[in-house]
Amino acid sequence: MWNRPVDKLIAGMLTLISPDGTVRDGLSITLEETRELYADMVEARTYDHKCMAMQRQGRLATYAPFEGQEAAQIGAAAALRPDDWVAATYRDAALMWRAGYPWALLIAGRTGDERGGQAPDGLNVLPPSITVGGHMIHAVGLAWAEALNGSDRVALTSFGDGATSEGDFHEAMNFAAVYTTPTVFLCQNNGFAISYPRDEQTRSESIAMKADAYGMPGVIVDGNDVAAVLTVVGEAVARARSGEGPTLIEAVTYRLGPHTTSDDPARYRDEDETGEWRTRDPLERVRALLERAGAWTPEWHAELEARSADVIEEAVAEAEALPRPTAAEMLSRMYAQPTGPLRAQLDEIGA
């Protein structure tokens, strides 16, 4: 069955590009920008499909796909400056990548290699949070530090609808509001926390309205509309950057695939519901818009797909070429310098 509360939400939320590709008032990005966002979403989806396939081949550990959520992730990241902070989750590979994190490292992480968490120097994107909820307050601390240091960097944290039930969500929201930190809270409400539907997760009508409880603005946006997400996150980023404090954004979207490669969605949701959401595919509506504007051709799309496939293949090769991690590396990563007990253990393993 259709996820009722989302139904209601869709009525009130900001959409700039309708599911059929028609444009609504307020769309302010150029055609060229739209083409770039489209290209990014194609690349992200290519990555997602590749990872699903690799996991089935046993080349990756558990993988959490984001198919269906590309607009929310690419749109949000596109609103950031390259030096802004990002604290995101296991499902946010597209967001992290668009914020500058290399595909190769994201893949390395999924092969089960801690080196995948080592962002390139200068890039302020944290390794993805695997625990649900704990990382939001980090974005508050990061933003707070930047503000205290007089920088105008902001911190964006992305999380799911399920994460809003954790006590840490509450503490993070409250601290951000109390200290007016430049933090953007991006909730990708994809309808489920594993099998648990959004309308059981909380009885509030929306997640965005929870912002009121902290004296913080809350905004609800069509999470499958890359332009709307870019706009709304852009406004929140601008508020944050100018010292006006945090914003909570609820991007209403849907996870088309399973929770992770270990999950079986048939146990908790209907094919129909998923089918319904496929008609709201975030790539499709941009394609329709572009096509109508004469800026999309099957050839261009094929070219994008081919280029993306190459890029992802290269990233896979790079990740898989990482030499096998040694035990000594494992022991040496715990502190700046191995402590006494660890030095003794390094001796024990003969390193």
Ligand X SMILES: Cc1ncc(C[n+]2csc(CCOP(=O)(O)OP(=O)(O)O)c2C)c(N)n1
Q: Which residues ranging from 178 to 237 are in contact with ligand X (CB under 6 A)? A: 190, 192-194
Q: Cβ of residue 173: shortest distance to ligand X, in angstroms?
A: 15
The Cα 251–Cα 223 span in angstroms is: 4
In three-state secondary structure terms, 76 is: helix
Asked if 99 is part of the footprint of another protein (rule: CB under 8 A), the reply reads no
Alpha-carbon gap, residue 219 to 227, rounded angstroms: 15
Among 144, 169, 254, 296, binds a copy of itself (CB under 8 A): 169
Q: Which of 7, 200, 270, 310 binds another protein (CB under 8 A)?
A: 200
Give the tokens for residue 83.
């030096």
Active-site residue (options: 45, 110, 255, 280): 255
Q: Which of 78, 94, 126, 312 is close enough to bind another protein by CB under 8 A? A: 126
* Binders in 78-137 for ligand X, by CB under 6 A: 91, 130-133
CA angle, corner 326, sides to 322 and 331, nearest 5? 125
Residue 15 DSSP label: -
Catalytic, out of 268, 278, 292, 333: 268
d(CA 255, CA 69): 6
Our answer to whether residue 135 is catalytic in this structure is no
Question: Does residue 259 have an active-site annotation?
Answer: yes
Residue 258's H or E segment, with its range, is none
**47 is known as an active-site residue:** no
Minimum Å gap between C-beta 252 and Mg ion is 11
Contact string 149-188 vs another protein (x = CB under 8 A): x-----x------xx-xxxx--xx-xx--xx---------
Residue ranges in 191-220 that form contacts with a copy of itself under rule CB under 8 A: 200-205, 209-210, 212-216
**Mind giving me the DSSP string for 270-282?**
-HHHHHHHHTT-H
Q: Burial-class residue 103 by CB neighbours within 10 Å (0-12, 13-18, 19+).
A: buried
How crowded is the C-beta side of 7, counted as CA atoms within 13 Å? 8
Name the phi and psi angles at 197, rounded to 5: -75, 150
Q: Identify residues 54-73 at the interface with another protein (CB under 8 A).
A: 61-62
Residues that bind a copy of itself (CB under 8 A): 165-171, 174, 177-178, 200-205, 209-210, 212-216
Residues annotated as catalytic are 255, 259, 268
